[in-house]
Structure 1
Amino acid sequence: MKIAFDQQVFLLQEYGGISRYLCSLVRELATMPAITAQVFAPLHVNRNLAGLGNELSRGRALSRLPPKLLRPVMFASKVMARREMARFKPDIVHETYYCEDDFRPNGARRVLTVYDLIHERYPDLFVNSEGTTRPKRVAANRVDHVICISESTRRDLVSYCGVPEEKTSVVYLGVDVDFVQAVTPRRQYHPRPFLLYVGARGGYKNFERFVRAFALSPRLRQEFDLLCFGGGQLQTAERQMIVDAGLGPDQVVQMGGGDEILAALYQQAAAFVYPSLYEGFGIPPLEAMAVGCPVICSNSSSLPEVVGDAAESFDPLDEEAMLAAMEAVLASPSRRSALIAAGQTRYQQFTWEKCARETEAIYRKLL
């Protein structure tokens, strides 16, 4: 069985969760008997592809792509990818993003992975939500089968895009935990005990409500700081929001860096808090669990599927409930220990080998 992965997302992401998922999937598929998997990205900017080597990925990495050249380069890459895939003669074309065009070689079946329906659920948070919604709807209804990364995403896909449920399957992502487990922190990254927040902070990520909930407790304010990893530096409006909530200007800090720093922060945090209103899957809670960091997260969208009973959960729209969840963990060594133990079991259910095996079974059913 020959599987071709198209070029789309590899010109949209230099790094990123989608390209990381696809490269991990290709790598695992290549270890299976009677499977030939190949990425066709003739021109791309993606750095994850380098880890696949020439045997699994065909294309040239561009060191820099000015915005004005994105469209013509995307068109050229698409034309070249179509030609190369036609010579490859795949049984399956796994589309990597949302395209209205059908560019499969004759006879190939089409598979698409849908990651979330954030633009459909929260259109007011985006400047041009229809620019993503329309091609996603067209692509999902055009292909032969759609893989969703959670039951929550599948429900939303059926509801918002009208895709028949029988044309969908759920395949959970795997989690790369080697990077967090292998790190021995070289130093303490923050002088006081802290709660860790990871990723972007705008809109549906619910960061502002998290800060306000934390600030409601005199004990938490006295004993802990909030440390944000990634997401860019704190903006002026965010700093003002922090002060308005009653926190000191230095009590919420932002830090960036590579996987080694993130791994150390997971290990050093008193707890990891994930207050998001919506996630298609949600990998950071599982990364935290892998190194024994207790997880406190919202009970919305896909997150209950991911964390199971290995996290302290709360209604992300209820600041009092969020505060109660944080206090329940931070004030109870026994609860904290129980979450750590449950997390150590939970994260092991999500592997790339399992993801690839279930994906390969879907391919075979289509042939």
Structure 2
Amino acid sequence: MKLAFDQQVFLLQEYGGISRYLCSLVRELSHKPSVEPHIFAPLHFNRNLESIDSALVSGIRLPKLPTKLFRLAMLASEALAHRAISRFKPDILHETYYSVADFCPNNTRRVLTVYDLIHERYPNLFVNSEGTIRPKKIAANRADHVICISESTRRDVIDFCGVPEEKTSVVYLGVDVDAFRPVEEECQYRPRPFLLYVGARGGYKNFDRLLRVYARSPRLHRELDLVCFGGGPLLANEHEMIAALGLSPDRVVQIGGTDAILATLYRQAEAFVYPSLYEGFGIPPLEAMAAHCPVVCSDGSSLPEVVGRAAETFDPLDDDAIQAAIEHVIESPERREELIAAGQSRHTCFSWSKCAEDTEAIYRALL
């Protein structure tokens, strides 16, 4: 069975969760008998591709380009990829993102993974929601089968895109647990205990509400720092909000860096807090669990599917509920240890080998 993965997302992401998912999937599929996966990204900007065997990828990584040259690179890569995929004669084309253009070869079945419906649920949070909504709907309805990364996402695909239920399946993502296991020696990143927040902070991520809850709780802001990993440096409006809430600027900090730094922060945090209003899946809670960090998170969208009973959950629109959940975990060593133990069992339910196994079954059912 020959599987082709197109160039789309590898032009859009230098790192990113989607490209990491696809690289992990291709790596696992390549170990299976009678399966020949290949990524066609003739010109790309993605560094995750470096993590897999070069024999599984066709393409050259480009440096960052000005906007005009970037558009030319996209057009060139698209044309080259389409030609190479046609010569490859795949049984399955797995589209890596949402394109209006149809470039599937004849006699090839098409699969699409849909990651979330955030633009459909919260269109006002984006400058050009329709620029994602329209191609996503076209690509989803054109596909022979749509893989959804959670049951929550699958319901949204059916409701917002109008895809027949029988054309959809849920395949959960995996987590790279080895990177997050505890180690004996590591540097201490913060002199004080801290809560950890990971990822982007805007809009539906609900970080502003977490900041307000942190500021209004004497227990939290007096005894714990709030550390944000990733998402870029704190913005001017975030610094203004921190000051307006009466918080010292050294108590809310942003740290960037590698997965190794993130793994250390998970291991050293008093708790990982994930207040998002909407997630297509939600890998960070599983990473935290693998690192023996108790998880306190939203009970919205896909997150209950992911965390099960291994997290302290809250209504992400209820400040009192968020505060109570965090304080309960921080104040109760018994609850903290209970969550750590439950997390050790829970994260093992999500592996890249299982993701690849379930995806292969979908491919074969189409042939």
Q: Name the TM tier (shorter chain).
A: over 0.9
* Letter in structure 1 aligned against 2:311: A
Could you tell me the TM-score, scaled by structure 2's length? Answer: 0.98
In the alignment, is the contact (CA less than 8 A) between 2:182 and 2:291 conserved in 1?
no
2:328 matched to 1:328?
Answer: yes
* Letter in structure 1 aligned against 2:237: A
Shift of 1:213: 1.1
Mapping 1:247-286, distance limit 5 Å:
247-286=247-286
Task: Please list every run of at least 4 consecutive aligned residues from structure 1 whose deviation after the TM superposition is greater than 6 angstroms.
Answer: none
* Letter in structure 1 aligned against 2:235: Q
Matched length? 367
In the alignment, is the contact (CA less than 8 A) between 2:182 and 2:292 conserved in 1?
no
Q: Aligned-pair RMSD on alpha carbons?
A: 1.1
In the alignment, is the contact (CA less than 8 A) between 1:185 and 1:264 conserved in 2?
no
Mapping 1:141-220, distance limit 5 Å:
141-181=141-181, 183-220=183-220
In structure 1, stretches of 5+ residues that fail to align are: none
2:342 matched to 1:342?
Answer: yes
Q: Secondary structure at the match of 1:365?
A: helix
| Distance in 2 separating the partners of 1:197 and 1:107 | 47
* Letter in structure 2 aligned against 1:285: P
* Letter in structure 1 aligned against 2:242: I
| Distance in 2 separating the partners of 1:326 and 1:151 | 27
In the alignment, is the contact (CA less than 8 A) between 2:219 and 2:327 conserved in 1?
no
User: 1:102 maps to which residue?
Assistant: 102
| Distance in 1 separating the partners of 2:263 and 2:312 | 21
2:78 matched to 1:78?
Answer: yes
Change (3 A) 1:184 1:232: farther
User: 2:136 maps to which residue?
Assistant: 136
* Letter in structure 2 aligned against 1:305: E
In the alignment, is the contact (CA less than 8 A) between 1:45 and 1:65 conserved in 2?
no
Shift of 1:315: 0.3
2:118 matched to 1:125?
Answer: no
Shift of 1:162: 0.9
Q: Secondary structure at the match of 2:55?
A: coil
* Letter in structure 2 aligned against 1:48: N
User: 1:114 maps to which residue?
Assistant: 114
Shift of 1:349: 0.6
Q: Secondary structure at the match of 1:69?
A: helix
**How much identity, in percent, do the aligned residues show?**
69
Shift of 1:183: 4.7
In structure 2, stretches of 5+ residues that fail to align are: none
Shift of 1:245: 2.3
Change (3 A) 1:37 1:311: same
Q: Comparing 248-257 with 178-187, which one deviates more in the overlay?
A: 178-187
In the alignment, is the contact (CA less than 8 A) between 2:82 and 2:103 conserved in 1?
yes
Mapping 1:25-64, distance limit 5 Å:
25-64=25-64
| Distance in 2 separating the partners of 1:35 and 1:268 | 41
Shift of 1:56: 0.6
| Distance in 2 separating the partners of 1:244 and 1:65 | 39
Shift of 1:182: 6.0
* Letter in structure 1 aligned against 2:109: R
| Distance in 2 separating the partners of 1:289 and 1:139 | 35
- Residue deviations 1:124-183 (CA, integer Å, cap 9, x gap): 000000000000000000111100000111111111111111110000001012112265
- Residue deviations 1:232-286 (CA, integer Å, cap 9, x gap): 1112211121222232222111111111111110011000000000111111110
| Distance in 2 separating the partners of 1:82 and 1:365 | 25
Q: Secondary structure at the match of 2:54?
A: coil
Q: Secondary structure at the match of 1:239?
A: helix
* Letter in structure 2 aligned against 1:320: D
Q: Secondary structure at the match of 1:55?
A: helix
Shift of 1:221: 1.9
- Residue deviations 1:271-314 (CA, integer Å, cap 9, x gap): 00000001111111100000110000000000000000000000
